[in-house]
Structure 1
Amino acid sequence: MSFDVIVVGGGPAGATAAYQMGRAGAKVLLLDKAKEFPRDKPCGGGLSARLLHRFPYVREFLESGEVPVNPIRRVHLESPDSTRVTYGQNDPVLYLIRRWEFDAALFRRAQGVCTVRNGVMIRRCEVKPTHVELESTEGEIFTAPVLIGADSANSVIARHTGLRSEAAHKEYAVDMMEETDYSRLQVADREAIYLFLTLTQTFGYGYIFPKTEHLNLGFGCKLDWYLTALRGKGAEHHAGWVETLKQKGDVTGETDRSRYKAFPIPVSGPLAQTFTDRVLLAGDAGGFVNAFTAEGIFYAMASGSLAADTVLEAMRSQRYDKRQLSAYQRAWQREIGDDLRHSVEIQHRLFNGSGRMDSLVRNAKHDPELLRLIIGYSMGAARYEELRSYMMRSTVPTWVWGKMKAAVGLSA
């Protein structure tokens, strides 16, 4: 059977793209290395309100109970110096799901409109003058005029097409986490998420995400720091982190070491180029992750949707060259580009040992509007420009006054 397009990777980016193109009438082949869905997927599993607005069918399967969801209305935020502040609102700040259930729901929808092959791991991708050729580890060959690579942070498609080439330690974080049911591990506040912004010299934070029946908690850090400080000791560090949370009174019970997982997350922003002749990259494969919060589900689905739009237009024109597919990069830059670029800036400004993170949280403790904007930006409900503008208005007078006092020899 011939196909109009191949999608590699059945996670949120690939399933969204396949579903959208299949509904539009394209002949889509969706390949995934998992032998079956649901498949295990470690992840914090937070959905923003804007994701539900952008993809109404997600709201439908959450409201129907197909995917259990815990609406979160509070956030406990702790700075490196242990200053803690709590934010709450009437509407949900975030919707927590288990990724294996959520991904399976997206995959089922794609499966209904396209051809699916499970248990296929790609080892070679080659762009030819008239098509893209893929070879599986079993030696099976797949071809199509165009391809969407949505095959995770370790994307074979990105590497084999030359779109990802920088040193991995500069681009990735490592998330060390477990997802354990409440019979073993409990949290003090099931209606809140906890964020611990504890690393001061490099990007990193701890978190607690309570699901409907399970507790997800872990610690993320840049890969270079992990390789320097935690190589071979990830599980031990995680167990120690759980003990720290118990001492704080945030959790009770015992960690389940069999549920420990560590996985890479790209946190340096989208790749410089996310397209080439006959190939587009979406989701983690293209680096579509918020570098400040490490949230990737919304950006995965948005990039998958925009990639689908670009392929459908290419099919209409029967052109799959770089010039034609460059429309994809312009599209994601318009919708999510500023978000992702600013998230990298914030990561570099706050996780640098300057004490800015402590100052920000301390100020937010006494400034409800600043706190609202910090949480709103983190959860995708406030724009970077709003947060930056407010921070400038609220902090510049203090800074100017401090400089004036220093100039005339007064103590600050």
Structure 2
Amino acid sequence: MSFDVVVVGAGPAGATAAYQMGLAGAKVLLLDKAKAFPREKPCGGGLSARLLQRFPYVREFLDAGEVPVNPIRRVHLESPDGTRVTHEQENDPILYLIRRWEFDAALFRRAESVCTVRTGVTIRRCEVKPTHVELETTEGEIITAPLVIGADSANSVIARHTGLRTEAAHKEYAVDMMEETTYDRLQVADRESIYLFLTLTQTFGYGYIFPKTEHLNLGFGCKLDWYLTALRGKGADHHAEWVDTLKQKGDVTGETDRGGYKAFPIPVSGPLVKTYADRVLLAGDAGGFVNAFTAEGIYYAMTSGSLAADVALKSIRSQRYDGRQLSAYQKAWQREIGDDLRHSVEIQHRLFNGSGRMDSLVRSAKSDPELLRLIIGYSMGSARYDELRSYMMRSTVPTWVWSKVRAAVGLNA
């Protein structure tokens, strides 16, 4: 059977793209290396309100109980120096917590209903030819199609073999070390809140506690270069120490499950410079679509998958698959999520640099509810970067400048 397009990777990006194209009548082949769904997927598992607005069918299956969800209205935020602030939203939830095992399976079922799916298939080679793309599996099978969407994770074979990702991994990735365990083993003090710990000052780093309906998800993330320098071969031990730290703070009780420890890469340097080539589009982690400050990926994965589907459908209808035709994808995601992702990289570089800015910002937010609302809102996708920046320029920055002036003239002595 011939296909209009092959989608490699059936996570949120790939399943969204396949579902959208299948609904539109395209002949889609969706491949995934997992042998079956649900499949194991370590992840914080937070859905933002804007995701539910953009993809109404997700809200529908959450409301129907197809995927258990814990709606969160409260956030505990802690800075590197230990300053802790709490923000609570009275009306709609700030974040909806789900297990990726269950959420991804729900998306996969929808894609499966409108396209051909094959699981247990790993792609080891991708070659773009003048008339088609040739994919080779680890079993030696050759699969061809006029167009391929690579949604095959941060370690994307499609991205590397087409030359779209060339940078050394340690410069672009973070490592998330986490566990997801049941409440009979590990409990959290407040199941109706998420906890965010902005821990590292010299490099990108954070800790988190995300309580699901029946499981507790907690972990620690850092840049890959720092991990390779400080934690190589010690990840599980570091995670256990992190859980002990949380127990000392009184945030969790119980015991870590060392057997449940997982570590996985996250791209945190923004989207790739180019996310398309002749006959190829990249979506989700494969294209670097992750917020570099919060490490949020699901919203960006699904949005990039949807936009890739739009452009792919136009290419299929016109039978044009060249880079000039597919460049519309780059323009589309830049319009919708480009500024957001670019600003997230800027914030990461400005705050995680050892300057003490993170501590100052959180201390300021402790006495300024509006600043705290905007910080949490930006982190959860409900406030825009320009709102946060504008407010900081009007409030935090003048205070900081005045303190420097006072110190310069000796008024603080």
TM-score, normalized by length of structure 2?
A: 0.99
Stretches of structure 1 that go unaligned for 5 or more consecutive residues are none
| Aligned mates of 2:402, 2:153 — CA distance in 1 | 49
Once the two structures are superposed, the pairs formed by residues 66-85 of structure 1 within 5 Å of their partners are: 66-85=66-85
Stretches of structure 2 that go unaligned for 5 or more consecutive residues are none
Q: In 2 relative to 1, CA 229–408 (structure 1 residues): closer, same or farther, beyond 3 Å?
A: closer
Structure 1 residue 317: Cα displacement: 1.2
Once the two structures are superposed, the pairs formed by residues 68-217 of structure 1 within 5 Å of their partners are: 68-90=68-90, 91-217=92-218
Structure 1 residue 315: Cα displacement: 1.1
Q: Secondary structure at the match of 1:86?
A: strand
**Equivalent residue for 1:48?**
48
**Equivalent residue for 1:257?**
258
**Equivalent residue for 1:401?**
402
Which amino acid is the alignment partner of residue 394 of structure 1? S
**Equivalent residue for 2:38?**
38
Which amino acid is the alignment partner of residue 41 of structure 1? K
Q: Deviations along 1:289-330, whole A, 9 cap, x unmatched?
A: 000000000000000000000000111211000000000000
Q: In 2 relative to 1, CA 178–400 (structure 1 residues): closer, same or farther, beyond 3 Å?
A: closer
Q: In 2 relative to 1, CA 407–173 (structure 1 residues): closer, same or farther, beyond 3 Å?
A: closer
| Aligned mates of 1:32, 1:407 — CA distance in 2 | 61
| Aligned mates of 2:287, 2:409 — CA distance in 1 | 53
Once the two structures are superposed, the pairs formed by residues 233-244 of structure 1 within 5 Å of their partners are: 233-244=234-245
Q: Deviations along 1:266-301, whole A, 9 cap, x unmatched?
A: 000000000000000000000000000000000000
RMSD over aligned Cα atoms: 0.8
CA contact (8 A) 2:75 2:86 kept: yes
Structure 1 residue 106: Cα displacement: 0.1
Identity among equivalent pairs (%): 88
Q: Deviations along 1:190-231, whole A, 9 cap, x unmatched?
A: 000000001000000100000000000000000000000000
| Aligned mates of 1:403, 1:205 — CA distance in 2 | 29
Structure 1 residue 407: Cα displacement: 5.1
| Aligned mates of 1:89, 1:219 — CA distance in 2 | 25
**Equivalent residue for 1:308?**
309
Which amino acid is the alignment partner of residue 46 of structure 1? G
| Aligned mates of 2:348, 2:79 — CA distance in 1 | 14
Q: Deviations along 1:382-403, whole A, 9 cap, x unmatched?
A: 0000000000000233234334
Structure 1 residue 410: Cα displacement: 2.5
| Aligned mates of 2:215, 2:409 — CA distance in 1 | 58
**Equivalent residue for 2:26?**
26
Aligned pairs, number: 412
Which amino acid is the alignment partner of residue 256 of structure 1? D
Shift >6 Å, 4+ stretches: none
CA contact (8 A) 2:247 2:253 kept: yes
Q: Secondary structure at the match of 2:321?
A: coil
CA contact (8 A) 2:14 2:283 kept: yes
Which amino acid is the alignment partner of residue 98 of structure 2? I
Q: Secondary structure at the match of 2:181?
A: strand
Which amino acid is the alignment partner of residue 219 of structure 2? G
Q: Secondary structure at the match of 1:334?
A: helix
**Equivalent residue for 2:3?**
3
Structure 1 residue 409: Cα displacement: 3.8
**Equivalent residue for 1:376?**
377
**Equivalent residue for 1:272?**
273
Q: Secondary structure at the match of 1:330?
A: helix
| Aligned mates of 1:405, 1:205 — CA distance in 2 | 33
| Aligned mates of 2:179, 2:388 — CA distance in 1 | 32
CA contact (8 A) 2:16 2:302 kept: yes
